[in-house]
Amino acid sequence: MTISYAPLEGITNWAFRALHHKMFSGVDSYYTPFWTPTVDSPLAGRGLTDMLPENNQGIPVVPQLLTNQAEAFLPAARLLQDMGYREVNLNLGCPSGTVFSKKRGSGFLTQPQEMDRFFDQIFSADLDIKISVKTRVGAESPEEWAAILDIYNRYPIHELTIHPRVRKDFYKGEVRMETFRYAVEQARMPLCYNGDLNSAQDCRDFAAAFPTIQHVMAGRGLVANPALARELKGGPALTQEELHTFHDLLFEDYRQRLFGPRPVLGKMKEIWFYMGSMFQGAEKPLKAIRKAKNLDDYTHAAQALFRDASLIPGGKFVQDP
């Protein structure tokens, strides 16, 4: 089974991926967070920095684009192809309000005719890069899924990653495994499963239930437990010491590279939203981390956490109900 690191906008930027790849084995590929190309500017700013080959040396990366315009997708895909990428991923799952209302991400799923035309254009273009898709199973209801899959089935999609939730679910509630099973029966392209695989055991349970699926993708579970993929491949479990080192190196990198304490604090606090589930006895320092207003407060709180709290044996990311 191969396992990929899911794209997490705001978290898995190039520096995060490089540090993760250096410290933890097991992840077969990393998907970049989405970049929205425009016709005039296919790749710029944060997206360009994130996808530049020199920032991703030695790391297996799949860049991801978010658009509903073939005229914007194609120049970006060509640039990525020229940079040496073999695959580009199209985001058809993002549930965020602005993305959805612009009919991109999961919003495009509500426009079957436009989506069909978009695929027709991108798959008939002269491109030498594989196109994969990451999708939800609908916007409002999983009843939309059969029609959406029908469209996908008409095109040579390299791989279809399915997060079996609808847009309305955002990232909560049970994953809709019956909808995924329908895809396993009906899809004409290779599938990758994504959703709530928060431990190596979760991945093994999934593999037992869906033995024909060779590829899975994990996001939040890997932020909480950066050694998840290593464990899945038979390697050792996460230790508190290495999580501490990972944390300190990431914090240091953000302090050097980001402008001012505010973005550094924002990024570090977000990671604790996931990593916090790994610890017992961490309520007080976690609260202090959430409340930290400057880098000194933050440093003290994080130090207290690594000193006073301990990893839960077999711990994993647990979502608040």
Ligand X SMILES: Cc1cc2nc3c(=O)[nH]c(=O)nc-3n(C[C@H](O)[C@H](O)[C@H](O)COP(=O)(O)O)c2cc1C
Closer by beta carbon to ligand X, 64 or else 305: 64
Nearest to ligand X by Cβ — which residue? 219
Q: Least distance to ligand X from the beta carbon of 168, Å?
A: 15
CA distance 107 to 217: 22
Residue 238: closest CA among 314, 304, 299 = 314
Which backbone phi and psi does 119 adopt, to 5 degrees? -65, -40
Query: Which is it for the CA torsion 288, 294, 295, 296, positive or negative?
Result: negative
Residue 191: strand, helix, or coil: strand
Residue 202, number of CB atoms within 10 A of its CB? 19
**Residues of this chain that bind ligand X (CB under 6 A):** 6-11, 33-34, 64, 91, 93-94, 134, 163, 171, 194-197, 218-221
Strand 279-280 to strand 310-311: parallel, antiparallel, or no bridges (unpaired)?
antiparallel
CB 167 within 8 A of CB 136: yes
Specify the residue, 216 or 309, whose C-beta has the smaller distance to ligand X.
216
Please state the closest distance from residue 266 (CB atom) to ligand X, in A: 12
Of the pair 164, 309, the CB lying nearest ligand X is at 164
Q: Which is nearer to ligand X, 93 or 142 (CB)?
A: 93
Closer by beta carbon to ligand X, 19 or else 304: 19
As measured in angstroms, the least distance from the Cβ of 43 to ligand X is 15
CB of 97 to ligand X, least distance (A): 14
Q: Classify burial at 280, counting beta carbons within 10 Å of its beta carbon; exposed 0-12, middle 13-18, buried 19 or more.
A: exposed
Strands 87-92, 215-218: pairing kind: unpaired
Q: Name the residue nearer to ligand X (CB basis): 238 or 309.
A: 238
Beta carbon nearer to ligand X, 31 or 119: 31
Give me the least distance between CB of 30 and ligand X, in Å please.
Answer: 11
Tokens (6 digits) for 307: 């000193």
DSSP state at residue 135: E
Angle at CA of residue 255, ends 252 and 257, nearest 5° = 105
Task: Indicate the residue among 144 and 196 with the shorter CB distance to ligand X.
Answer: 196
Strand partners, 134: 91, 161
- How is residue 240 written in tokens? 């508190």
Whole-number Å distance between alpha carbons of 171 and 140: 14
CB 144 within 8 A of CB 151: no
